[in-house]
Amino acid sequence: MSRKYFGTDGVRGRVGQAPITPDFVMRMGNAAGRVLVAQARRDKPKVLIGKDTRVSGYLLQASLEAGFSAAGVDVMLAGPMPTSAIAYLTRTLSLDAGVVISASHNPFYDNGIKFFSASGTKLPDDVELGIEALIDAPMQCRSSESLGKASRLSDAAGRYIEFCKGTVPYGMSFSGLKVVVDCANGAAYHIAGSVFSELGANVITVANQPDGFNINSGVGATHPEYVRASVLEHKADIGFALDGDADRLIVVDSTGRIFNGDELLYILAMERLQRGSLSGVVGTLMSNVGLELALKARDVAFDRAKVGDRYVHEMLIERGWSLGGEGSGHLLFLDRHTTGDGILSALQILIAMLRSEKNPAELTHDLQMYPQILKNVKVTSGYVWTADERLLAAKKAVDAKLVGKGRTLIRPSGTEPLLRIMVEAHTQELAVACVEELMAAVGVVG
């Protein structure tokens, strides 16, 4: 069955426009609550709700809380917390589900809802479909004695900080390292700096003054030039840029060089290969072909999943592997956590640096990345690129030019009204020319 509301990462959109409206979110909470009640392991299910720093989080949290309560579900409120923290806390507190109110790397005027299962993973398809089946049905409200209650989880940040620190080998210290952490004015603003400083690093924390509107605004993983400038200004050893919900990571070294998710994935793969703990790596259709070739040159199995960390996770489970990720900076290591985590990713990079006594440039010196150009083209509702004859003809022509020299990938965004066009080629000039040719052909609604 196809999903009506859920995308690759929950439900997301512009606040005030369907589906991100108070009434829809309340009905979604009620539908999710009714599914949980039907599957309850206890007298009354318990759900943890976290959010990022968007001003709309207050509104949507109240709507979710009302929907869950009406369904007879108790709610615990964690306040602003990274997405991965909610996954961890849901699991470690033995709750029935976790919910995050966030639109990740999007601007402040967007927001979204994503769910975690009791085990801290994305919801199984059948559960999502069960929720969707009830969203459009009339809301149900249980009798007064069966309504859910709400409480605050006051020590959520402290619990998560200790979890992050616990992933670092005993006795390892970051003392002597100067680290810049860009929190994107998002959910990790009060957490990320503490993790690194409590492990001994000299930390400069930036973009950690959220006001409800400045999340991801010129900062964070989608704007690495900001952390780059801070690294150079403070003469830091390394810089880490998170996104709004802190589940992705971009790294900048002491010279200002920016390392994306594919390069970070290679660093982690080589560190694990050296320790004999690597079975294979999962990337996505967007992963750079240079990463694939470098891994295969070292006899490391590499498979591509569909774009989206949920699909990387699913393939890792299928293969029985633990390491995977996306070029955007979503990295998964299932032997450490059930979902992508920007702070844990940064810690893993530091561990690889300290163990090898090498910087990121040295750790990737034998990785030859192909120039990759990715462009987002706004499209109208209902646009189907596979029905666009002009674009299909342009893609056929471009593919012919790239035989033996690169590849193309066109896909609709799973969260926004965008068409993503990617071209990889052995030269920057060829990649740019090809992607411009494809962009110029977009425009016919299927």
Active site residues: 104
Helix/strand/coil (H/E/C) assignment for every residue in the chain: CCCCCCECCEEEEECCCCCCCHHHHHHHHHHHHHHHHHCCCCCCCEEEEEECCCCHHHHHHHHHHHHHHHCCCEEEEEEECCHHHHHHHHHHCCCCEEEEECCCCCCCCEEEEEEECCCCCECCHHHHHHHHHHHCCCCCCCCHHHCCCEEECCCHHHHHHHHHHCCCCCCCCCCCCEEEEECCCCCCCCCHHHHHHHCCCEEEEECCCCCCCCCCCCCCCCCHHHHHHHHHHHCCCEEEEECCCCCCEEEEECCCCEECHHHHHHHHHHHHHHCCCCCEEEEECCCCHHHHHHHHHCCCEEEEECCCHHHHHHHHHHHCCCEEECCCCCEEECCCCCCCCHHHHHHHHHHHHHHHCCCHHHHCCCCCCCCEEEEEEECCCCCCHHHCHHHHHHHHHHHHHCCCCEEEEEEECCCCCEEEEEEEECCHHHHHHHHHHHHHHCCCCC
